[in-house]
Amino acid sequence: MVGNRTMLSIAQEICPKAKAVICAGTCSSYGGIAAAYPNPTGAKGVKAALPNLTVPVVNVPGCPPNPVNVVGVIADYLLQNRLPALDSKGRPRFAYGRKVHELCPYREQESAASKSKAARASAASTTARASSSTTGSASPCRPVIPASAAANPTSGHDDAVLWEGDDD
């Protein structure tokens, strides 16, 4: 309660007057952990709490949200007079458009090795040789954690694509 008013009643009054609403964090984006089943508090994100809201809503989830992503949304609006392109979950594509595995430096090496093996397999004269050249070991991909985040896991180096990776 703020001044004997709930945050919901304040949001219902203020949000429709905005040019856009930027939901910074998972709680404002989707309701956060409190919205998990059985959701005894009735927690929900801004868009679900204000279903008749007609202004654009940009979700920047994360706990805490990546400050680069929050500033990126604001800078995009201030410098280009538009909000960034959004994915199906209302997140900015520049921050949530790709999965972390797609950014893995080992993936390029794996792809090059697969192409090389495939080329050797197609040139092989026997089926046995072709099948042995196309079999490989497990993926060399492994998590890449910035040194600063590894040294202090609570430092706020929450990479958004690590947290919310599934996209349309």
Q: Where are the domains of the chain?
A: 7-98, 105-134
Fold of 7-98: Rossmann fold (3.40.50)
CA distance 21 to 70: 12
- Beta-carbon contacts of 66 under 8 Å, excluding residues fewer than 6 positions away, are 60, 95, 158, 159, 160
> Which tens digit of pLDDT belongs to each residue from 112-150?
666 666 666 666 644 444 444 444 444 444 444 455 444
The whole-number average pLDDT for the span 90-107 is: 85
Contacts 24+ apart (CB under 8 A), 107-114: 107/141, 109/140, 110/139, 110/140, 110/141
